[in-house]
Amino acid sequence: MSPSRPILLRWGAWRLDLSARTRIMGVLNVTPDSFSDGGRYLRPDRALAHAQRMGEAGADLIDIGGESTRPGAPRVPLDEELRRVIPVIERVAARCRLPISIDTSKAEVARRALAAGAAMVNDVTALRGDPAMAGVVADAGVPVVLMHMRGTPSTMQRRPRYRALMNDLLRFFRERISAATAAGIDRRRILIDPGIGFGKTVAHNLEILQRLELLARLGRPILVGPSRKSFLGRLAGDLPVDRRLEGTAAAVTAAVLHGAQMVRVHDVAEMVRVVRVADAIKRGGM
């Protein structure tokens, strides 16, 4: 997808021009066990304050999730996930003038979140985890992120192998986009995420960043989420999560230069600056 070609995401009262600049999706995990910030924002007041800080720092969307998808993470019961996310979504929707994405693979969580003020669904299973999810998204008329993941969070890092990684991703997304549109989801509201770190080795993650532009053949906006991932720590000398800022900046830059229209990050203020420079390099101007 050429930067000069308009890429407009329109739904309801929201409008995002994805061709003007790379958009920032800020991560807000309301979980006790997420790999990076688990337990920090369980209280709705703390979650709201963090969402407001990300908005002030330049986030374009806030992605709220109540179930960790780190490697080996257990499933969270429906009632518990709802208890975590709904009060936060209600508060953020009332106080922040940004679209909210609900990060879930459960149709009922998505339905309740959209009713509470969310405006987008981010599904790490690409609509495969819950047979009712596609119908919820189609009925609501909201955008959806289809992410590639090999297996489930509990199994995805068990010797991940691919015949030809990028070709496998292309086949996967063609099939999932077809399934989504067959269920009534508007193709113009579909984004794709190659799933950095989800059933991928370090070499797989690097190949995705190096060859990301191949996914532009699908004609859909590309979201990339490398933020603080373990492969960045390994590449930089086995660094812990809280020391992966520079690695995240490098990965975000590569994603922008190779075709991402949106990046999902924890460190919004820093990545806004990184993306501004990367966009200028890619587009040849301010």
- Residue 200 is among the residues annotated as catalytic for this protein: no
Separation of alpha carbons 62 and 168, rounded Å = 30
Going from the C-alpha of 70 to that of each of 3, 29, 33, the distances in angstroms are 33, 12, 8
Helix axes 245-257, 202-210, angle to 10 degrees: 40
Contact 169, 147 (CB under 8 A): no
Q: What is the DSSP pairing of strand 14-17 with strand 8-11?
A: antiparallel
- Options 84, 112, 189, 229, the catalytic residue: 229
The amino acid present at 121, given as its one-letter code, is: V
The 3-state DSSP composition of the chain as helix, strand, coil percent (nearest 5) reads 45, 15, 40
- Options 161, 264, 282, 283, the catalytic residue: 264
- Residue 229 is among the residues annotated as catalytic for this protein: yes
Separation of alpha carbons 120 and 84, rounded Å = 18
Contact 9, 189 (CB under 8 A): yes
Residues classed as catalytic: 229, 264
